[in-house]
Chain A
Amino acid sequence: MHELSLAASIVDIVERHAGGVAVRSVYLKVGRLRQVVPDALTFGFEALVQDTPLQGATLELQLIPAVGRCRACGVETTLEEFPLLCGGCGGLDLEILSGEEFFVESLEVEEADVGGGERAAVD
């Protein structure tokens, strides 16, 4: 996976949502089936934000396990490796329930100084 161009997409998303406020952390959910290399993505992100208002922001990856539900026997299996096999019957016909996520979930931003701007404080 070309982590640098993915990191560039992430930077673009963060800039749009940060609204000019300093960003501490970017929380990213990455499914294990996406074959993203975490270190390369983090490295790319940090390289791209150097000397920009986002400098210092960290990329926090949450890796989501791949889980499949067998269409033949209904068993749900956590999938570690190819071939993706049902842990119950060994079948290959699986509905992928998780593991293909790839999105920016949230940002941790510095609270704005005085007055201006909306706060999107969410629990």
Chain B
Amino acid sequence: MLEEASARPSIKTVVMEGVLDANDALAQANRADFDRAGSFVVNIMSSPGSGKTTLLERTLERIVPDVRVGVLEGDVRTSLDADRLERFHVPVVQINTAGGMGGSCHLDANMVRIALRQLPLDGLELLIVENVGNLVCPAAFKLGEDCCVMVFSVTEGEDKPLKYPQMFRAVSLVLVNKIDLLPHLDFDMAKFDRCLDDVNPGVERMLLSARTGEGVDAWCEWLRARHKR
């Protein structure tokens, strides 16, 4: 196809390459490493402040040392989250995304691949990836995980699923956290269920409180049932 658009004619070059193909290829390489090691990998996502790290502390209190678990912590800056998990003496690698394209708001497969070099993957039955707090971007960047889980808190508003459909569609489990605060809120659980079913019909959800521990055992059972393959 030649066009006399300007002094030089132009031609069409076929590309047919997915924008996220490079990330997906690295995710597949991560997946191969996880399979070789027999590790079940969970990508935990949420908005900032929903209680991911506190829930992770409650989880590790229950499953260590029965389950050989490792953690990848994703934050734009600081090792504060990884520091909180140090007392469990499990492999924890902190990924800081600052310094990328001005501070990436999500983990991508490349960052995970680099972090895996520091992790003794062969000994791990379960790898928990705590993604950067963000309700938009993490959903688009596969890491090679087995499944995605969202931590949603009841202080966030029932209509969040309608506002962030891609994120709520990307997960296979929604953990509804901070239920200990329900007496102080006007949170309408039935409305939240309807909003959630509008974007991800029938997706599994669990109510819990990382602060009081209510419901956390059920979440740990969910993990135990899956990491033993």
Instruction: Show the binding face of A for B, using Cβ within 8 Å.
Output: 1-2, 4-6, 8-10, 12-14, 17-18, 22, 24, 28, 33-35, 82-83, 92-93, 102-111, 113, 119-123
Contacts and interface: CB of A to CB of B under 8 A. Distances in A.
B11 interface: yes
B140 A1 contact: yes
B14 A110 contact: no
A17 B5 CA distance: 21
A17 B17 contact: yes
Interface in B81-121: 100-102, 104-106
B10 A103 contact: no
Interface of B: 1-3, 5, 8-23, 100-102, 104-106, 136-137, 140, 162, 165-166, 197-199, 201
Contacts of A35: 136, 165-166
17 contacts: A1-B140, A2-B137, A9-B23, A10-B19, A13-B17, A17-B17, A22-B8, A28-B19, A82-B198, A83-B197, A102-B19, A103-B15, A106-B16, A109-B11, A110-B8, A111-B8, A122-B11
B22 A105 contact: no
Contacts of A119: 11
B220 to A, nearest CB: 30
Contacts of B2: 111, 121
Given A108-B10, A109-B13, A111-B2, 15 more contacts: A2-B136, A13-B19, A17-B13, A24-B10, A28-B19, A92-B201, A93-B201, A102-B20, A103-B15, A103-B19, A104-B18, A105-B14, A106-B15, A107-B15, A110-B9
Contact of B15 (A24, A92, A104, A111): A104
Nearest to B137: A2
B10 A120 contact: no
Contacts of B137: 1-2
Nearest to A113: B8
A18 B10 CA distance: 12
A103 B12 contact: no
Contacts of B166: 33-35
A34 B139 CA distance: 10
A106 B10 CA distance: 12
A103 B14 CA distance: 11
Nearest to A25: B10
Nearest to A110: B8
Contacts of A22: 8
Nearest to B102: A4
A110 B10 contact: yes
B138 to A, nearest CB: 10
A18 B12 CA distance: 10
Contact of B136 (A1, A93, A103, A107): A1
A122 B15 contact: no
A103 B13 contact: no
Nearest to A107: B13
B17 A106 contact: no
A66 to B, nearest CB: 11
Given A83-B198, A122-B1, A123-B1, A5 B14 contact: no
